[in-house]
Structure formats: structure tokens, C-alpha cells
A = this chain, B = another copy of it.
Amino acid sequence: MEERSPVMPFERLLARRTRLMGANAIREILKVVSRPGMISLAGGIPSPESFPMGRIETLTRTVVEKYGAHALQYDPTEGFPPLRKALSSHLAGKGIRADPEQVLVTTGSQGVLDALGKVLIDPGDRVAVEAPTYLGALSAFNPYEPEYVCMETDDHGVLPASLDRVLSRGGVKFVYLVPTFQNPTGRTLPLERRTEIARILREHNALLVEDDPYGDLRYRGHAVPTLHSLAPGHVVYTGTLSKVFAPGLRVGFFTAPEPIDRWMVLVKQGVDLHTSTFSQALAAEYLAGGHLEAHLPEIIDLYRPRQEAMLEALDRWFPESFRWSRPEGGMFIWVEGPAGTDTLALYRRAVARKVAFVPGRFFFTAEGEGWETMRLNFTMTGEAEIRHAVRILSEVIRDAAAEGAAPSQ
């Protein structure tokens, strides 16, 4: 056997689509998080304290005893039948009528977004997104070479009139929204806008993707009906167990109008054959065994005081020229500074003082937008550290303003 050959110049073999697939800037930012002593408000992941560790041994034992070799065998691409049944009931609680055979399981909701891109997007096709929007969706869509059309938003999410204008211009393959506790803003579309959006979708005979990973994480107020419940024939609804059970299991799911659903299954077959049967069996037992119902209040009791601590600290410490969202749930608070604020510059100062967050510009598809914004996560950090971190951030903002680097008042 010879020595490992020198690296070959295989760049010449790369497909054209790789030009659109640069490294995710946030990924670089998140590397900072692991430095010792850093308080990170940058991540977008659930706290390990939210996982049902007290239940996992029972769940694994039940899976092995109840399903035996089935939990280790190949499984239909559509999903593990007991999980599809349990998800059908789960979705009914959200006003979503989907028989078990209309519920399809994917490897995280990322798997839904990739399959949608592959089924729907030709190079140059237009996809309508919010500004700002969830970056993971763009990572899934980008290899299929879409063009993004941005819809305007305000504190209550996307403006229906903006959606109407975008659809009236034509050529939009689908609309992508995170309507509840959005990432990055935490915003939730109120019922009136949802009703209006449902009407617009019907009028234009258009397709919308409702990505709903955070809907169950509600700390105050009342649930708003899903877009799917208001326009089922026009909406691909996608959810995940990542925020209410365990993200490492990679169990997402969707229900979609025909024939989109059938094509997505065909696509998934070529991508991973099916999602881990063992993960799906754990998820099935978690749902069908009543564990989600029992455990969800514990997750909410963990996150609610963290969010309250962050909001109180922002009220107390942040300059009056800054404003922020006050979401009733989810994982994020969105902060906007006055015009001229450069949160990437603030980020560098904050990291030097051992506090990390994500500058908001990374969530916009257009260059130059969102320079004055920042995304703060509150799920991964305890209340005392959150208060300390927000105070540090406020000092960083004032210091920068004092040096003329960014206005604060």
C-alpha cells in the first residue's frame, strides 16, 4: 500500500450550485461560544436541562420490549407507523386535520425544507421569505438556486399587503414563514393577519410553508390558530420534536397538499431512505405514552423565568433608544438599535467581555440590512447570568456610543 497521495485538485469537479453554498457565518460566531467563561446568548438550541432525562430510561426500555427488532430494522420512507398515528393526534390539537397516512416523518424539520427545495425549486425560481428569516431554511433551499423575494414585516410579523404584492407580481413557487415565535425575532402573526393571509393564498392559488418549531413553547397568552387550520389546501405544515423532546433524535414531520407530499417522500427515499427507526420509536412512545403532555410544563417552567429575567434586564439596563420584541413564547428576543448602530462592532466588544450574541444582519438575505439588530437567546442560560450578560451588553453599547462607534441615545 502506497503513501496517502497528495491532495488532488478536485475543485474542478464541483457542481455549479456550490457557488451559492458559502459557510454559514453564524456557525463561525457559534464557535466563540465554547470559549471558557463565555456567557452565550448566541445559540439557538434547547437547554439540556429541558430534556426528559428522568423518562429516557423508561422510554428506551419500552422501545426495546415493545418493538424489539422492529426498532432496529429498515422502515418505510413515510415514517414509523406508530409515530405517524401519534403525530396525527398531536396535530389535531393544533386544528390540523391529517390522517396518520397524511403525516410524514423526516430527519428533523431540516429534512422537510431540503425535500421541499428539491421538489419545487428550479434555478432562478422565486421563493418569498420574511426579512429577517430563519437561516437554516436558506441553507436547505440555496443548493437548488432560488431567488429570494423579501416580504416586509413589522412587530407583528409579515404584512399581508406585502405578501399580496409579492404574489401579484407572479412567479413565486412558494412562501416560507415561521408564523409563531419566529426565529430570529420571536414575533407571532396575530389571528387577523393569519385570516387575511389565508384569503390571499386562496385568491392567488398559492402554496405556503408554515414552519412551526416553537409553537408549543408558550409562556403567556393564548394559542393562535395555525395557518394550516385556516387554509389547509394551501399550506405545508412542518413541526419537530427538537424543542419539546430532544433535538439529537432528529425527528421532524410534515403534512402537505397532494401531490407535493408524494414527491417529498420520493425525494427523501433518495436522501436517507428513512429516519432512524429507533429515534422514531422513542418519539412515538413519548407522544403516545403521555410524556409530552406531562413534560412540556416542566420545559415552560424552565424557560419562562429566563425570558422574564431577560426582558426585565433589558428594561432596566438598555438605552432608551433601543427597542425589543416581547414574545409570549419561543427562544429569542430581537433587539433593534437606533439608525447607525453596528451590532457586529458591538459583538466584537461584547465577546472581549465574555458575552456572545448573534448580530441580526446574518438573518437578512439582502446585503446592508439589519446592521442595527441583534438576536438574544434565553434558553441556554440561567437567570443570574442572563441579567449579568444583558448589563454587560448595555455597557458595551454605551462605551461604543461614548467613543462615537455607534449611537446609543
Contacts and interface: CB of A to CB of B under 8 A. Distances in A.
A243 B71 CA distance: 15
Which of A49, A61, A70, A266 has the most CB atoms of chain B within a 10 A radius of its CB?
A: A266
Number of copies: 2
B271 A73 contact: no
Interface stretch (A176-184, A210-218, A226-234, A318-326): A226-234
Contact of A111 (B74, B249, B272): B272
Contact of A266 (B21, B75, B107, B114): B21
Q: Which of A114, A174, A225: most chain B CB closer than 10 A?
A: A114
Contacts of A60: 60-61, 64
Given A143-B267, A272-B110, A10 B230 contact: no
A118 B273 contact: no
Contact of A249 (B2, B57, B140, B277): B277
A250 B18 CA distance: 26
Contact of A207 (B13, B16, B113, B202): B13
Residue among A15, A18, A279 having the largest count of chain B Cβ atoms under 10 Å: A15
A95 B16 CA distance: 34
Contacts of A6: 233
Interface in A63-88: 64, 68-75
B15 A95 contact: no
B72 A1 contact: no
Given A10-B260, A95-B1, A272 B272 contact: yes
A248 B4 contact: no
Which of A1, A48, A140, A142 has the most chain B CB within a 10 Å cutoff? A1
Nearest to A282: B278
Interface stretch (A119-127, A147-155, A351-359): A119-127
Interface string A345-384: 0000000000000000000000000000000000000000
A89 to B, nearest CB: 17
Given A74-B247, A278-B282, A269 B139 contact: yes
B273 A10 contact: no
A7 interface: yes
Nearest to A80: B248
Contacts of A387: none
Contact of A121 (B15, B48, B233): B15
A8 interface: yes
A130 to B, nearest CB: 19
B51 A120 contact: no
Contacts of A271: 107, 110-111, 114, 140, 271-272
Contacts of A46: 73
A127 to B, nearest CB: 11
A233 B3 CA distance: 9
A186 interface: no
A97 interface: yes
A241 to B, nearest CB: 11
13 contacts: A1-B229, A5-B234, A8-B234, A10-B257, A18-B263, A70-B248, A107-B107, A110-B273, A136-B273, A249-B276, A271-B271, A275-B276, A278-B278
Give the 3 A-B residue pairs with the shortest CB-CB distance, closest first.
Answer: A5-B233, A248-B277, A72-B246
